Structure 1
Amino acid sequence: MDPTLKEVAMSLTLRTADVALAERFDYWRSVVCDAFVPLRAEPGEGDFHGELSTVRLGAVQLSSVEANAHTVRRTPRTIASSDRDYFKIGLQVRGYCVLTQDGREAPLTPGDFAVYDTTRPYSLSFDDTYRQLVLMVPRARLRLKPEEVARITAVRVSGRHGIGALVSPLLLRLADHFDEYESPAGPRLADNIVDLLVTLISGQLELDSPNPDSGRRALLIRITSFIESHLGDPDLGPETIAAAHYISTRYLHKLFSQEGTTVSALIRERRLEHCRRDLRDPLQLTRPVSAIAARWGFVDAAHFSRVFRSAYGASPREYRFTSEPFEGGVTLSAD
């Protein structure tokens, strides 16, 4: 079996033409489950062929999928078998697709795209040869509430009008130059893509809801995405965040107070979570704890050790070198 795509930090292409005809669809099912999330796949008629290319840009994955007729389904059983929680954005390049989720159908023709959520059932049906780009973003990066997610899934967005006309060409250019993004600039590029998607989703939420509170929520989504993208900046704070969104620091604090937390608490929680993951990452075992802390904006090693122990019940070094689970976790209490 080839290395799973989720473990490869470079562009990679897999083709069914590389295996025997009788094994192609089983191989394809394995490929798409490894690349994305566990799925049920059902072949169409005739001989099957497929090709998948993928590249990792920081926490974001961009894939190009080319195949002939088949259907994939995310079912309650496949959801239960995996804790990989993502939003996926499917952009149709060639052919036709029907995305179904949350009681809606999004018929996608070339240039159209839609958002779907891997934590709930969905299906993608392709009735002929097609090419689709799939952008996979951790759900935590967009920080949407469940009720907001349910309003935007399987909603067709035209790639020919509005901000959709900016997103479609950008993703197409990325997909045509996979090998050019295997560099330290990849994570920064991913942050820019996520910011653009947050703007798109925020606008969609505002358009689709008569609720006067939707504008505030859309702004909060943009702000939390900005925070996530700038955690490594040790100077990240209320003044910087407010200025970037053309609001006063007083209004910024009010937004977070209405959510039952503070700006500083959110920044600390997200930084600690990234540090926790890096400390348990086998590929970063030789990286100094201080370097991991600095990567996520903790410039004072002693301060980092104190807040980490408070959150997870162990020092960073203890947490890194033990397999025992620890009590505790980050709490978004007000400062």
Structure 2
Amino acid sequence: MTTSVGTTVETTTTHDFAQWTEVITRTFRGIRVSGPSADFTAEARHVHLGDVELFDMHTGPHTVGHPDVGAVVAGRPAGGEGRGVPMCKLSLQMEGSCLLSQDSRSCELRPGDLALYTGERAYSLEFPQRQRSLVVFFPRSYIHLRDDELAAITATAVSGDVGLGKVAVPLFRQLAGNLDELRGTHGQSLIRSSLDVLVTVLADHAQRTRHGDGPAAGEVAQSEVFRRAVGYIDSHLADPDLSPGSVARELYVSVRSLHAHFAEQHLTVASYIRSRRLSAIHSDLADPQLSGETVQSISARHGLFDASHVSKAFRSEYGESPRAYRSRLHR
């Protein structure tokens, strides 16, 4: 049932195991579903808002997973080119429990716990009893963490009783209880704001993990210069003169030294600036409240003025042009 531009709400439907398997494998390519109880049933409500999807699911015991690295993409072509974009999933446990595994880690989610996992790497979710959970399916680009930072916090439970989880968990519980209200531009804006909260919670969790327990095996601790440089870049994306040289001058270090600090994180200064600008443009193009702005004006707000360059770089990063991406979301 389509309710407004860019929004689809599906009513609750009861499925047996065969029907549920068909629904899951159609929505999430490459997923395997196994281990149901004899009397397995599942009910789900689905809301599709732009490039974000929410699933409120009541299911019997079963296991789902994806064993193949890099094969999970959105269940529909991206931008008409048949190419997927990297996707992430947030799982909030509301009833029952779940064992989530990814990146050589496992965590048990109990009511009031949430965790993140990515469709780019193998994962599994085991539901040993009847359960209810909210799954939010959204582009990887919404998470402004480097790949190594993201990999350090997947399959890690965030409790609604601790830290910023006290803010995030009630927020997503409210979303699950009010899916019918998430319609049109205001619903999309609310979802995006909620995911911004999630990013803040995950970044806080990553920082606590990094400074509390030290870097993970194989991970290089971030230097103070690197952290200051990243902060400066993120707050000055609109500056058309932003460059390795301008960042180095601001931090009173040589360009050579600045490059060395980024190289420790397997990054270059220029690639980080480019990635953050494209991510900001990608985010603004998905915002229904900015639908009246041109692609060029949005790009310019983030320091990029060459329309041809923006289109080429955006297509390389996300697999479709800025206009195709916006058209797909708001058609």
Which of 57, 64, 67 is 1:65 aligned to? 57
CA distance in 2: counterparts of 1:13 and 1:297, whole angstroms: 38
Q: Given that residues 115 and 153 in structure 1 are in contact (C-alpha distance below 8 angstroms), is that contact kept between their aligned partners in structure 2?
A: yes
Report the Cα distance in structure 1 between the residues aligned to 2:203 and 2:224, rounded to whole angstroms. 8
Structure 2 residue runs of 5 or longer lacking an equivalent are 74-83, 216-220, 241-248, 316-320, 325-331
Amino acid at match of 2:39: D
Distance across 1 between alignment mates of 2:228 and 2:41:
44
Q: Does 1:269 align with 2:271?
A: no
- 1:182 correspondence with 2:183: yes
The 2-side partners of 1:156 and 1:107 are apart by 7
- Alpha-carbon deviation of 1:238? 4.7
**Partner Cα separation in structure 2 for residue 107 and residue 74 of structure 1:** 18
1:27 aligned to which of 11, 16, 19: 19
Query: What letter is aligned with 2:96?
Result: G
Which residue in the other structure is 1:126 paired with? 127
Partner-residue secondary structure (3-state), 1:63: strand
- Matched with 1:197 is 198
Q: What secondary structure, in the 3-state scheme, does the structure 2 residue paired with 1:105 have?
A: strand
- C-alpha contact 1:99 1:124 (8 A) present in aligned 2: yes
Match of 1:213 among 212, 222, 226: 222
Matched-pair contact (CA < 8 Å) for 2:311–2:322: no
Partner of 2:309: 307
Question: Which segment is superposed worse, 28-37 or 131-140?
Answer: 28-37
Shift of 1:71: 0.6
Q: Give me the whole-angstrom Cα distance separating, in 1, the residues matched to 2:46 and 2:323.
A: 32
Cα offset for 1:141?
A: 1.8
Displacement of 1:166: 0.8
Structure 2 Cα separation of the partners of residues 312 and 49 of structure 1: 42
CA RMSD of aligned residues (A): 4.3
Distance 2:22 2:231 in 1: 36
TM-score, normalised with respect to structure 2: 0.67
State, as a whole percentage, how many aligned pairs show the same letter: 26
Could you tell me which runs of 5 or more consecutive residues in structure 1 were left unpaired when the two chains were aligned.
18-23, 228-234, 240-248, 279-286, 314-318, 323-335
* 2:111 counterpart SS class: coil
**Match 2:71 to one of 70, 80, 86:** 80
Q: Deviations over 1:123-165 (max 9, x none)?
A: 1111111100112221122143332222111112111121111
Query: Match of 2:268?
Result: 260
The amino acid of 1:41's aligned partner reads V
Shift of the alpha carbon at 1:95?
A: 0.6
Checking the alignment, whether the CA contact within 8 Å between 2:95 and 2:133 is kept in structure 1 is yes
- Report how far residue 53 of structure 1 moved: 1.2
Q: What are the equivalent positions in structure 2 for 1:102-181 lying under 5 Å apart?
A: 102-181=103-182
Question: What is the alpha-carbon distance in structure 1 between the residues aligned to residue 283 and residue 159 of structure 2?
Answer: 35
Q: Is the 8 A contact 1:40 1:74 kept in 2?
A: yes
Structure 1 residue 29: Cα displacement: 1.2
Q: How big is the shift at 1:39?
A: 0.6
Using CA pairs under 8 Å that are at least 6 residues apart, name the structure with larger relative contact order, 1 or 2: 2
2:47 and 2:323 mapped to 1: Cα distance?
Answer: 30
- Give the 3 Å change call, closer, same or farther, for CA 270–149 of structure 1 in structure 2: closer
2:48 is the counterpart of 1:56: yes
Decide which of 16, 37, 42 is 1:45's aligned counterpart: 37
**Aligned-partner residue type, residue 261 of structure 1:** V
SS in 2 for 1:16: strand
TM-score by length of 1: 0.67
